[in-house]
């Protein structure tokens, strides 16, 4: 009776992160460079933390109230 538990990822690949927030890879790298998103290197791979993606969306929706 052990069901599969869904585990939320703590970080995602660059392409997945870009898709999650609806931007391209170039814009995502700009957000990382500006410090708006947190990225970690694991070996040669770059991953973006899902917490920083969620925070970015919260910050932007709080400041962009005119966007509907």
pLDDT tens for 27-68 read 999 999 999 999 999 999 999 999 999 999 999 887 775 555
Number of Cβ within a 10 Å radius of residue 61: 10
C-alpha–C-alpha distance, residues 47 and 58, integer Å: 20
CA distances to 54, 57, 66 from 60, rounded to whole Å, are 10, 5, 11
Residue 62 has what pLDDT? 79
Quote the distance between the C-alpha of residue 21 and its chain's center: 7
Asked if residue 17 has pLDDT above 70, the reply is yes
Residue 61 has what pLDDT? 87
Residue 63 has what pLDDT? 75
Q: Name the residue ranges covered by the structural domains of the chain.
A: 11-60
């Amino acid at each position: 009776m052990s069901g599969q538990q869904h585990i939320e990822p703590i970080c995602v690949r660059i392409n997945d992160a870009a898709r999650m927030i609806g931007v391209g890879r170039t814009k995502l790298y700009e957000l990382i460079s500006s410090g708006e998103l947190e990225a970690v290197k694991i070996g040669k791979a770059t991953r973006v933390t899902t917490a920083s993606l969620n925070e970015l969306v919260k910050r932007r929706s709080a400041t962009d109230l005119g966007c509907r």
